[in-house]
Structure 1
Amino acid sequence: MYKRTVLIVEDELLIRIVLADTLADEGYDVIEAGNVLEAVAVLGRRKVDAVITDVDMPGGLSGLDLARMISSSDMKVPVIITSGGSIVRPEELPSDTVFMPKPYGMNVISAMVREMTAAETRKMAS
């Protein structure tokens, strides 16, 4: 059986660990990245079914930059953008991207991932 893969792009280690553990417990294969460049490297070599990224990231590229890169590619991967300090307006979001302000509940983020990956499965089946 195919195991859905979620890429978590988060520079705050504790948040990344808790989110990764939560999604792994939900049955996802989880890949972690501490910045956008690490995430781009992962996306270049692995099929990913969903991405969760923080807006403010080290290294000069933001999570919003990552979402735009994904949206402009042929990957068609849904993205959840999170932030505790930035507000991203709906018109700033690329397609297949949603914004979730921090702090968020782990049950809320897992439900969003479940919904997004289920929607992708329906798209592939039709």
Structure 2
Amino acid sequence: MDQHHDAVQLLFTDVHMPGNADGFDLARQTNERWPHIAVVVASGRAAPEPGDLPEGATFIGKPFSAEVVRHHVRKTLPDERHPKQLRT
């Protein structure tokens, strides 16, 4: 992210990741350092508590379908930043 943050439009992460940080930590750090990056966090085992997600981030509970992901990405990203595949 340090090198390519200008090219990143969206962070889609799971809550559970290897290492000491989790997806909530990654979402908050991303929002603090690169507020232009939209954030979607998913999990089938954890739900966000107050303060877990940064302002404007979206949470998706598992299991989910591809259509649910498309819907949340469309909702999270401004229209002009939608990838070509999501433009209506």
TM superposition score category, shorter chain reference: 0.7 to 0.9
* Counterparts in 2 of 1:116 and 1:96: CA distance versus 1, 3 Å: same
Runs of 4+ in 1 over 6 A off after TM superposition: none
| Structure 1 counterpart of 2:73 | 113
Alignment RMSD (CA, Å) = 1.8
Q: Which runs of 5+ in 2 are unaligned?
A: 82-88
Residue 3 of structure 2 is aligned to residue 45 of structure 1? yes
Give the structure-2-normalised TM-score: 0.76
Paired residues in the alignment total 79
Name the SS of the counterpart of 2:60 in structure 1. Answer: strand
Relative contact order (alpha carbons < 8 A, sep ≥ 6): 1 or 2 greater?
A: 2
Name the SS of the counterpart of 1:45 in structure 2. Answer: coil
Offset from partner CA, 1:62-119 (integer Å, 9 cap, x none): 1111001011114421111100111113542111211110001110101211232225
Q: Which runs of 5+ in 1 are unaligned?
A: 1-42, 122-126
Structure (1 or 2) with the greater helix fraction? 1
TM alignment of 1:1-126, pairs within 5 A:
43-46=1-4, 47-119=7-79, 121=81
